[in-house]
């Protein structure tokens, strides 16, 4: 039940990043989301429409609107576009809901992990139970193979870090 709630939360976060003026000039003021939850923050950003659609299809919106706290590594629409053709469409099919949930919950870590803390880690356990690899160096921070391109977008129930690729759990 908790995993379903977290997945809903991730979906909501993705939706929140999709259409918000809060992210003007790319993402805008980092503090804008403080009064909004992860989902509302992501949806208002305007760059997370695919994530929002995926969260909705997975039934994770309510989870990500929950108390949390959650840390979401949110891939942009451009990140989803990097996936092989047909991947997103296939994941959004009702018969693939469990796989979609596994992918989305792989982008969520329980708790509120700010960038200053992320850089001190070499791994983190996600809501789906698998670990992501974290690497920090002079070039920046990566979560698995994804580059973190925006950090510390504070929300009422956690924090969002924007990534440039969709990360996938091992099958």
Going from the first residue of the chain to its last (171 residues), give the mean pLDDT of each consecutive group of 10, the final group possibly shorter: 38 36 38 74 92 95 94 97 95 96 97 93 96 94 96 96 95 59
Do residues 3 and 62 make contact, with C-beta atoms less than 8 angstroms apart? no
Rounded-to-integer distance, Cα 138 and Cα 117, Å: 16
Please, is 90 exposed, middle or buried when counting C-beta atoms within 10 Å of its C-beta (0-12, 13-18, 19+)?
A: middle
Fold (CATH) for 2-163: FAS1 domain (2.30.180)
Instruction: Check residue 34 and give its pLDDT.
Output: 58
Instruction: Check residue 170 and give its pLDDT.
Output: 85
CB neighbours of residue 51 within 10 Å: 32
Instruction: Check residue 171 and give its pLDDT.
Output: 59
Domains of the chain, by residue range, sit at 2-163
pTM of the model: 0.80
Instruction: Check residue 115 and give its pLDDT.
Output: 94
């Amino acid at each position: 039940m908790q995993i379903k709630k977290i997945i809903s939360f991730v979906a909501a976060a993705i939706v929140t990043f999709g259409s918000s003026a809060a992210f003007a000039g790319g993402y805008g003021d980092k503090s804008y989301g403080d009064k909004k939850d992860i989902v509302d923050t992501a949806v208002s950003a305007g760059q997370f429409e695919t994530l929002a659609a995926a969260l909705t299809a997975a039934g994770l919106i309510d989870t990500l609107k929950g108390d949390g706290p959650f840390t979401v590594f949110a891939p942009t629409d451009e990140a989803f576009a990097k996936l092989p053709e047909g991947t997103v469409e296939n994941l959004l099919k009702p018969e693939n809901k469990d796989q979609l949930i596994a992918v989305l919950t792989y982008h969520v870590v329980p708790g509120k992990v700010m960038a200053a803390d992320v850089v001190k880690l070499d791994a983190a356990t996600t809501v789906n139970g698998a670990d992501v690899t974290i690497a920090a160096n002079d070039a920046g921070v990566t979560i698995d193979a994804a580059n973190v391109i925006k950090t510390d977008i504070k929300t009422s129930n956690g924090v969002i870090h924007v990534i440039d690729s969709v990360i996938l759990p091992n099958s």
